[in-house]
Amino acid sequence: MKLKLELKKASEQYGIVCREAVLAKQKANELEKFRQEKERNVEKARLAEEAALALAEVERQKAKAAIESAEMSQRLAEMETQKRKLAELKAKHDEQFRKRTIHDVVFHNIAYRRYSIKEIEVATNGFDNALKIGEGGYGPVFKTVLDHTVVAIKVLRPDLAHGERQFQQEVLVLSTIRHPNMVLLLGACPEFGCLVYEHMENGSLEDRLFRKGNSPPIPWKNRFKIAYEIATGLLFLHQRKPEPLVHRDMKPGNILLDKNYVSKISDVGLARLVPASVANKTTQYRMTGAAGTFCYIDPEYQQTGMLGVKSDIYSLGVVLLQIITAKPPMGLSHLVEEAIQKGDFIDVLDSSVPDCPIEETLSFAKLALKCCELRKRDRPDLGTVILPELNRISQILECDED
């Protein structure tokens, strides 16, 4: 009996312990849920804070961008104002320079025929496009009749930088020299930068080499004669007294041909006088900036600004190579030199003309390549080397034809 009571009591205590354990477990679960909820709330609060900070940063960046945009707009407006002022000053300066140019040309006792703008307008029929035969860097060229003579009138583009200076140089040079291989300046209109030349019926060497308008190819004999004449005209400029004249823009587009394929050098607007004391020396005349046409400019002159008569020799070399290949100037010296080394020289020659005199043409090409040497000192002398060799080749072909 006593044992039963003790067992009952133990059973009751066990039940109490079990209930307490269940309650404790429930309480622990509730505490865990509370903890997890608290952590979620803390995480939400952290994320909300970060989002608020990010939003604030975005707003700050937007405000900064708006301020910078406003400042940039202000700077652009100031720059536009400055540009307008500079443009006005430039226009004023250009007008003053134009007037000075006119004064210089008119009052330097230069003998040339002066035309009024009215005479030019009448001759060109108001600059009628139907009379336009070309357009270069200087401006359009019109073929017309003036003083009962067929002429070419070159008109200065009003927007051309240093155009007035080129006009003045052209008049100064061509009015004081005469040579059968220099284009003849018949007159000018200084008020509007118009230049009146003799008309050259066969146009430029460039147009004929590349057969513009489906023109016939230039015969080999004529090509070598043209090369000799170009060198003759160039030597005339280089031997000018008291100071040599460097052309600075020798290229096929600036060599004109008359009806008999006699060649004449034109466009001396970029030409510069070089002190005779340094013309052929290693110490050359320094220019502030290289001028000319890409692919024809002496690399040494382009890099250093040092100008000498041998600067023209490089350009002449490229022109000579074009005369026999009728190819563009870019990389032409390398192309010809490589062809000679590989024995493929004939493949680079102008195939539109038959019966090429290979031996003479090869000698011609080797001379041209020497002219294209990168250093001035490595290029041959025009008077003592280049001209005699060109004359020799030209004479051989003349004799062969006879």
In contact, 247 and 266? CB cutoff 8 Å: no
Beta bridge mates, 151: 144, 198
Q: Which of 249, 267, 298, 350 is catalytic?
A: 249
Distance CA(234)–CA(250), nearest Å, equals 9
Distance CA(36)–CA(301), nearest Å, equals 82
Both tokens assigned to 393: 């080749």
In contact, 394 and 219? CB cutoff 8 Å: no
Both tokens assigned to 308: 């000498």
| CB atoms near residue 359 (< 10 Å) | 10
| CB atoms near residue 374 (< 10 Å) | 12
Q: Which residues contact 50 (CB under 8 A, 6 or more apart)?
A: none
Distance CA(202)–CA(360), nearest Å, equals 26
In contact, 140 and 132? CB cutoff 8 Å: yes
Q: Is 249 a catalytic residue?
A: yes
* DSSP E strand boundaries for 163-286: 185-189, 194-198, 245-246, 255-257, 263-265, 272-273, 285-286
CA atoms within 13 A on the CB side of 361: 24
Pairing status of strand 245-246 against strand 140-146: unpaired
Q: Helix or strand or coil: residue 351?
A: coil
Distance CA(175)–CA(111), nearest Å, equals 6
Distance CA(303)–CA(311), nearest Å, equals 12
**Active site (catalytic) residues:** 249
